[in-house]
Amino acid sequence: MLAVFERLEVGLLQRILGGMLEESTIEIVEYRLQPGESDASVPDARMRASFEWLFEVKTTQGMVREKQLRAHLSCFRSDADDQRLLVLTPDAVEPPAVRGMDPRCSWCSFRQLSDAIDTVLADPGVVVGEHAVFLLRELQSLFADDGLLDPGADVVVLPARIAYPEYLAYSAYVCQPKRAFKPGLTHLGFYVERAIQALIPAIRLVEDEVLFSEAVAKHREATGAPDQAEIAALIRALLRTGPRAEESYKVILLSPPDHDATVRLPAPIPHTGKAAWVQNQRYTSLATLTTAGVVSTDDLTK
């Protein structure tokens, strides 16, 4: 985020910060013509800045701690006129640790920041360069991919040219070991041929690291547990057909296509934008996917 902010024109950054904090008068750099503050001297113009903003960013809900914020507040320089501690989180409401803390401490959600960017870029009275637009849209995409814009996100959507046929055949998703996903997920979606597919299976079991070998398959099968027997069959099938080598993988068992736990959308949800809607993984909510009137991925961000 800071890497984007430092590349923006100051006036544009002021508008975005003002929008996210709902303050129309934010002025981190002051520009004045003939500032007549002294009878002895009236210069033609003045540029002045005296501020210090600290940022505390959390990517998980409910992680803001009062002790940490108070420690941050003690770090301000005494000579800065505008001192602020901005707490940025994916929470839907202001965290209790921020509420009533200190007038210099403010909270903002990733959603509010993203909305402020949208508002500024949509304003016909604001001229924004192509490079700045690109940076800000990429920042928004990063927020969306990491599930920071929707605190109720319970679905991960994955690029799935190979994975979707595997799901249809084996009711499972297999990827690199220990691949990280946000907590609280209940369903998994597949993005194939520029569309989110209509089948949204439920997540039944997640194992971070499974060695694909006949010995492991035999051991798991011998436990007698149904889910372990299912993983054993998956190991054998994928080793036999060749798409997987004898290595470790993350395995997610999913509800079958015809199971009641699998959500079936009325139709695939197409993406009409130029860039892929999903690059690595992207989060949304089941409630959003199943909302009436969703006909494209544009509707998922409204």
The verdict on 141 and 159 lying in the same domain is: no
- Same domain? For 136 and 180 the reply is no
pLDDT at 39: 65
Answer yes or no: do 139 and 166 share one domain. Answer: no
pTM of the model: 0.68
Q: Does residue 114 sit within a domain?
A: yes
Q: Give the residue-averaged pLDDT of 227-249.
A: 94
pLDDT of 115-130, one tens digit each?
899 889 988 888 899 9
Domain assignment present for 84:
yes
Among 99, 114, 145, give the residue marking a domain's end. Answer: 145
pLDDT for the residue 153 = 85
pLDDT band at 38 (very low <50, low <70, confident <90, very high): low
The 3 state secondary structure assigned to the chain is CHHHHCCCCHHHHHHHHHHHCCCCCCCCCEEEECCCCECCECCCEEEECCEEEEEEECCCCCCCCHHHHHHHHCCCCCCCCEEEEEEEECCCCCCCCCCCCCCCEEEEEHHHHHHHHHHHHHCCCCCCCHHHHHHHHHHHHHHHHCCCCCCCCCEEEEECCCHHHHHHHHCEEEECCCCCCCCCCCEEEEEECCEECCEECEEEEEEEEEECCHHHHHHHHHCCCHHHHHHHHHHHHHHHHCCCCCCEEEEEEECCCCCCCCEECCCCEECCCCCCCCCCCEEECHHHHCCCCCCCHHHHHC
Whether residue 201 sits in one domain with residue 79 = no
Flag whether pLDDT at 302 surpasses 80. Answer: no
Mean pLDDT, residues 169-191:
94
Total of domains in the chain: 2
Among 145, 178, 208, where does a domain finish? Answer: 145
Residue 63 is assigned to a structural domain of this protein: yes
Same domain? 61 vs 14 = yes
Average pLDDT over residues 57-84: 89
Same domain, 122 and 249: no
Domain end (from 104, 125, 145):
145
Residues 206 and 294 in one domain: yes
* Judgement on whether residues 169 and 293 belong to the same structural domain of the protein: yes
Question: What's the pLDDT score for residue 47?
Answer: 81
Residue 35 has pLDDT above 80, yes or no: no
Question: Structural domain of residue 31, as residue ranges?
Answer: 2-35+42-145
Percent of the chain clearing pLDDT 90 (strictly above): 58
**Mean of pLDDT over the chain:** 90
